[in-house]
Structure 1
């Protein structure tokens, strides 16, 4: 009868060509970041807010950026791999030293992670207040009670420096399909609020090496990984963030040594965050 086996062949772990090209010079994005100055002279520092589910790697990404720029492993933002709940409890701003006795003109704001239960994790309204600059440094998040005007920790008259200039969603590559629907709903609400405020948005997918064995072997395979491309597409369907605004990274956790290939992924994502934020600040 002939015909053979008509079942589809399994997807290849690596594509024949990368679906995104990084600069050939691995230090190009790093040099851009080091030389960056905000176009808006009324702003001292560009503020990047990270949000996402508990354990996504928000604090680890901050440490990784710091590690790249300091050329040594840094662990200032506390992380915890075993608690199962958000290790970040307070609204915390992280500055990064530039080696010249001052700091780079961008900062990261770290917040409590989202959880599916209503009495756990950061409240959506608190994140939206942070976008607008109403959350004061050091405010202790209370999952059971949202921050409101008149409360300790509420900033009544935020300046442009207090506001968020770019919003970054963080999610682990090995759990894109496992994010609870209630958590996705919370992230969508924050995304909608940011859109109404014209705040630019992008996303980073962490733990690329844990999700794909080929990337674990060689981090340069990140953007040729068929599996990771599928995760990016799934994440786009979840939140609507365009694929060209979703970046893959491998954080320096638990890696103890600086690696130029890991640096390239981290700096490529950071460069886009800075560019988006600076465009936002430069708009009339």
Structure 2
């Protein structure tokens, strides 16, 4: 079977009491994928899985997903899976046979009718393991104790759950535990921009629709390093942007209040007919806009605004732009908003500024995260699909799409929410470092002047 989880339920009932090939096919044909489970008199449990339906075709059916298995040997759990090696002979769909796997046959349960002998059902089939399945050194004796005497045989229909957690994560991370969380916090506490450039802080610009979670991301990061839930930046849902002032927020480390070596820049929200545009973002990214600039739709940014930084240095510039997107609204993103985003991206690409997407509110689209834990985010096929979709929309690699849950209704910090937020921030800072390395390359190639660097 593939990586997705599945639920199984018995097809009508156990075969127990009706070991008859005709009855088997009448109850189990056209049920899709099935699992056949045999329980023998020695406490061994074994069987086979096929992803194709039984149909009374009278021929072998091709199935490259089929496998045999053992769950118990003599009452002791010893699970092992035996994959099909000759898919063309995966199952024998003979109307006179019970469930039969492999050419030869690897597992031929019975034909016709088998009656109870007073203690068990002595199946009249055969088990010639190894013809069409890789038995990994196991044999008739180690799988079914050298006989086909069973107390029961059950056939289950397998129904894949498309939204169930994946067995293997689609994005690998270290194990989520307190140690990993502390390592993330320490790494970010000790983060410093590229020392050759002699700047104190990396600058990250947050851009996104109204209510997407820009200000909430700052509040989330701020809360983690404060040690309790804070709401320093105004956040929430409103028809128009709650952010009307350009802010360059400091994140301070714990009770000492010492600023960390990065700033999060919050700007007004993207809207279809208003909000940040290509003209504004150029001024912001180039470092011209002062902290606490009041946005005024009737007064575009220009060198005449109060506090305009005429000759910005590298330390004033934006080193990475994070587009903040609500994962629950990706499919209904207004066309005009998307056009505005693309316009911003064009300006950013021209300036060589790295871009990432913070994919917020993942708990709103994925029940795995709501019902279980944020730590399951990379096991969620739903989030994986949203990441893939946003990657296509934005024209960015999937590694640049970072799922996130901000603190919203919580009154206390949650280790898993904090872990995901810090992993996201750490990756954003690494992209900011990429900008600085590119800048350093240009500097060393003589294409920039040293005076463009200011501490």
Same fold (TM over 0.5): yes
Give matches, 1:100-139, under 5 Å. Answer: 100-117=256-273, 120-139=274-293
Within the alignment, does 1:39 sit opposite 2:190 as a pair? no
Kept after mapping to 2: 8 A contact 1:167/1:201: yes
- 2:160 and 2:367 mapped to 1: Cα distance? 19
For 1:143-222, list aligned pairs within 5 A.
143-217=297-371, 218-222=373-377
Residues 249-260 of structure 1 aligned to structure 2 (within 5 Å): 249-260=404-415
Q: Deviations over 1:226-262 (max 9, x none)?
A: 1111111111111112111111111111211111111
What count of residue pairs does the alignment treat as equivalent?
A: 280
CA RMSD of aligned residues (A): 2.0
Worse-superposed segment, 99-108 or 72-81: 99-108
Structure 1 segment 54-133 matched on structure 2, within 5 A:
54-81=210-237, 83-99=238-254, 100-117=256-273, 120-133=274-287
CA distance in 1, matches of 2:168, 2:239: 38
Counterpart of 1:96 in 2: which secondary structure? Answer: strand
* Secondary structure at 1:95 match in 2: strand
1:263 aligns with 2:263: no
SS class of match (2:260): coil
Say which SS state the counterpart of residue 259 (structure 2) adopts: coil
Q: Match of 1:60, SS?
A: helix
Q: Which has the higher strand share?
A: 2
Structure 2: distance between partners of 1:77 and 1:124: 24
Residues 265, 101 of structure 1: CA spacing in aligned structure 2 closer, same or farther, 3 A cutoff? Answer: closer
1:233 equivalent to 2:388? Answer yes
CA–CA distance in 2 between the matches of 1:233 and 1:35? Answer: 32
1:244 matched to 2:402? The reply is no
Give secondary structure in 1 for the equivalent of 2:287.
Answer: coil
Aligned-pair CA distance for 1:28: 2.6
- Structure 2 unmatched runs, 5+: 1-28, 33-51, 53-158, 441-455
The whole-number CA distance in structure 1 between the counterparts of 2:173 and 2:243 is 32
SS at match of 1:103: strand
Deviation of 1:9 (Å): 6.0
Partner secondary structure for residue 323 of structure 2: strand
- Report the secondary structure of 1:168's partner residue: strand
Shift of residue 3, structure 1, vs aligned partner: 5.6
Bigger RCO of structures 1 and 2 (CA < 8 A, at least 6 apart): 1
Unpaired runs of 5+ residues, structure 1, are none
**Residue 430 (structure 2) pairs with residue 279 (structure 1):** no
**Structure (1 or 2) with the larger CA radius of gyration:** 2
Farther off after superposition, 11-20 or 139-148:
139-148
TM-score normalised to structure 2 length: 0.58
Normalized per residue, the structure richer in helix is: 1
